[in-house]
Amino acid sequence: MKITLYAICFFVCIFTSVSVCAGTARIITKENAIREDCRFFAPVKAKVRYSESVEIISGEGDWFRVRYKGISGCIHKSALEEKKFTFSGFTGPQSQAASGDEVALAGKGFNLSVEQSFKKSHPELNYQTVDIIENYSISDDDLRKFMINGGLNQPR
Amino acid sequence: MKILTGILGILLLLSGCSSVQLQDMSQHMGFVTKAATVTQKAARPISDEEEYYIGRAVAARILSIYPLSKDEYPAAYVNLIGKSIAIHSDKPFTYGGYHFAILNSHEKNAFACPGGIIFITKGMFSAVKNEDELAAVLAHEIAHITHRDGISAIQSSRWTEALTIIGSDAMKQYGSQELSQLVHLFEGSIDDVFKTLVVNGYGRSQEYGADETATVLLLKAGYSPEALKDLLARVRGEGGTQAGGMLKTHPATTDRIENISSHMPSGRTDNSLIQKRTARFLKILQYNK
């Protein structure tokens, strides 16, 4: 009797832990990078885009070690939104599936369509300059040199 | 045996066998379930993506008043300083990233648009004495972004109304009527944020919070956290409270200095490094005409 009870408890634990470990997360920045190590300025292994999914392998401080299209690497936690875990027992991967409502409403809200309509009714607003500001970029190398030259701390 | 049956029951429930029955039940509940679903969705906060579009609109509105400075070197410099600080924040990555720009105005001011666009005026750039003070201004604005102070200026009723539209069945097809309603609410949200940023200023607690976070960020980045206090003290000494801009929309400078002093993080900054940074600041300053 006791052995049967332990066996059942063991299987419950196995099924639960397998599902939790196999967590996925969604990219919530327009674009980001999967890096070789869990630190800023580590070499980039792959680029990811908004709404793409990554599989979480483990957590390392403010970083997650993830798998993306067969590539393993690190991404900062602020670029990710963990998908809500719902237990679906023996059904496995289906636990990550989005409902019809979620799919239909994905991206609805204050989005690009709203901005485009808003822009049309407000031609006086200077969106062109906003785009110039956003398109200005600084490379990892230049930022790292600037930090070193000024005796600033490099983040972990 | 009873325990065994109980465990098996729980297992079956978890396995999803019973979820079919629950789904059937929910279908019969009709309207009640739909209302509950809409309410559940309505509970969500403004997402990072939405914050980004709000921030862009606020920035576009600020740029329709203040022109952008075309000076290339100072613009690159503020971006390097700003990014060196933002990387140490709780949110080093926002949806669209952090971007820093200089406005061609002699007013001493700085603005943090939701999502990550930060403006500093030429007047403010000229008011700081070294790189650490410039970093202090930017750290204060970064703190407003990580605290989502701009977003909190949006009337909650406006966002609730937006969520009702977003959650409606009609929105799934994205009809023109729903879109125009949403654009109207978007416009109202921009007004709320713009008025807070440019006209009325944040509340006292938000300003104190941004000052406190700024000193922590400065120390983490390797800048002197004392720089924020030094800047405020000097501007107060110059009679800056009548100067308008940032000091017009912020709480009394004396109170801010007292608050910063009582929350100053412990840690020292190497004086020789401050001097080194001041040297590169002075080189850049000659381009900020």
A9 and B7 in contact by Cβ < 8 A?
yes
Q: Is the domain of B137 the same as that of B2?
A: no
- Our CA-based measurement puts residue B57 at a distance from the nearest CA of chain A, in whole angstroms, of 7
Q: Cβ of B88 under 8 Å from any chain A Cβ? A: yes
- pLDDT, tens digit, for every residue of B236-280? 877 654 444 556 666 788 899 999 999 999 888 899 999 999 999
Q: Please give the average per-residue pLDDT across B212-241, as a whole number.
A: 90
B42-71 residues touching A, CB cutoff 8 A: 46-50, 52-54, 56-57, 59-61, 63-64, 68
Instruction: Give the integer Cα–Cα distance in Å for B117 and B163.
Output: 25
pLDDT for res A16: 42
Q: What tokens were used for B23?
A: 């789904």
Q: Is the domain of B217 the same as that of B142?
A: yes
Give the residue from B43, B59, B74 where a domain finishes: B43
Q: Which residues of B107-143 are buried (b: 16+ CB within 10 A; e: fewer)?
A: bbbbbbbbbbbbbbbbbbbebbbbbbbbbbbbbbbbb
Domain membership of residue B180 (yes or no) is no
Structural domain count, chain B: 2
What radius of gyration do chain B's Cα atoms show?
Answer: 25
Model ipTM?
0.82
B166 and A108 in contact by Cβ < 8 A?
yes
A133 and B221 in contact by Cβ < 8 A?
no
Considering only alpha carbons, which residue of chain A is nearest residue B1? A1
* Mean pLDDT computed over every residue of chain B: 84
Q: Which residue has the higher pLDDT, A115 or B172?
A: A115
Domain membership of residue B203 (yes or no) is yes
Domain membership of residue B172 (yes or no) is no
Instruction: Give the integer Cα–Cα distance in Å for A89 and B20.
Output: 13
Cross-chain CB nearest to B84 (options A105, A132, A147): A147
Closest CA to B86 of B273, B213, B256: B213
Q: Cβ of B41 under 8 Å from any chain A Cβ? A: yes
The pLDDT confidence band at residue B166, using thresholds 50, 70 and 90, is confident
Q: Is the domain of B76 the same as that of B53?
A: yes
Q: Is the domain of B56 the same as that of B22?
A: no
Q: Is the domain of B224 the same as that of B277?
A: yes
CA-to-CA dists, residue B223 to B109, B116, B283, angstroms: 21, 21, 19
- Which amino acid makes up residue A40? F
Domain membership of residue B161 (yes or no) is no
**DSSP assignment of A90-101, as one string?**
GGGGGGGPPPHH
Judged by DSSP in three states, B224 sits in coil
Q: Is the domain of B71 the same as that of B203?
A: yes
Q: Cβ of A134 under 8 Å from any chain B Cβ? A: yes
Q: Cβ of B174 under 8 Å from any chain A Cβ? A: yes
Q: What is the pLDDT along chain A (156 residues), one digit of tens a residue?
A: 555 555 554 554 444 433 334 599 999 999 999 999 999 999 999 999 999 999 999 999 999 999 999 999 999 999 999 865 444 333 333 334 444 444 445 567 999 999 999 999 999 999 999 999 999 999 999 999 999 999 999 997
pLDDT for res B167: 82
A89 and B14 in contact by Cβ < 8 A?
yes
A28 and B162 in contact by Cβ < 8 A?
no
Q: What tokens were used for A155?
A: 């983040």
Q: Is the domain of B37 the same as that of B143?
A: no
Residue B50 burial (CB count, 10 A): 25
Instruction: Kindly report which listed range (B18-27, B133-142, B216-225) carries the lowest average pLDDT score.
Output: B18-27
CB-CB contact of A50 with A31 (8 Å): yes
Domain membership of residue B173 (yes or no) is no
Domain membership of residue B165 (yes or no) is no
Q: Cβ of A150 under 8 Å from any chain B Cβ? A: yes
Q: Cβ of A112 under 8 Å from any chain B Cβ? A: yes
Q: Is the domain of B37 the same as that of B66?
A: no
- Our CA-based measurement puts residue A154 at a distance from the nearest CA of chain B, in whole angstroms, of 7
Domain membership of residue B77 (yes or no) is yes
Judged by DSSP in three states, B129 sits in coil
Instruction: Give the integer Cα–Cα distance in Å for B29 and B37.
Output: 12
Considering only alpha carbons, which residue of chain B is nearest residue A13? B11
pLDDT for res B32: 37
B189-218 residues touching A, CB cutoff 8 A: 189-190
Q: Is the domain of B139 the same as that of B220?
A: yes
A63-82 residues touching B, CB cutoff 8 A: 76, 78-79
- Which residues in chain A are closer than 8 Å to B63, comparing Cβ atoms? 125-126, 129-130
Q: Cβ of A85 under 8 Å from any chain B Cβ? A: no
Q: Please give the average per-residue pLDDT across B61-83, as a whole number.
A: 96
Q: Cβ of B11 under 8 Å from any chain A Cβ? A: yes
Q: Please give the average per-residue pLDDT across B215-238, as a whole number.
A: 93
Looking at the DSSP assignment, which residues form a beta bridge with residue B119?
Answer: B101, B111
Cβ neighbors of B98 (< 8 A, separation 6 or more) are: B82, B83, B86, B116, B117, B118, B142, B145
Q: Is the domain of B55 the same as that of B139?
A: yes
A111 and B172 in contact by Cβ < 8 A?
no
Q: Please give the average per-residue pLDDT across B196-212, as a whole number.
A: 94
Q: Is the domain of B131 the same as that of B31?
A: no
Domain that holds residue B215: 48-151+198-285
Domain membership of residue B219 (yes or no) is yes
Q: Is the domain of B250 the same as that of B274?
A: yes
**What is the longest distance spanned by two Cα atoms in chain B?**
86
Cross-chain CB nearest to A110 (options B54, B61, B172): B54
pLDDT for res B244: 45
B68 DSSP 8-state letter: B
**Helix B176-194 with A112-121: angle, nearest 10 deg:** 80
pLDDT for res A97: 43
A151 and B162 in contact by Cβ < 8 A?
no
Size (chain A), residues: 156
Judged by DSSP in three states, A75 sits in strand
Cross-chain CB nearest to A109 (options B37, B47, B131): B47
- Which residues in chain B are closer than 8 Å to A124, comparing Cβ atoms? 64
Closest CA to B251 of B207, B186, B185, B189: B207
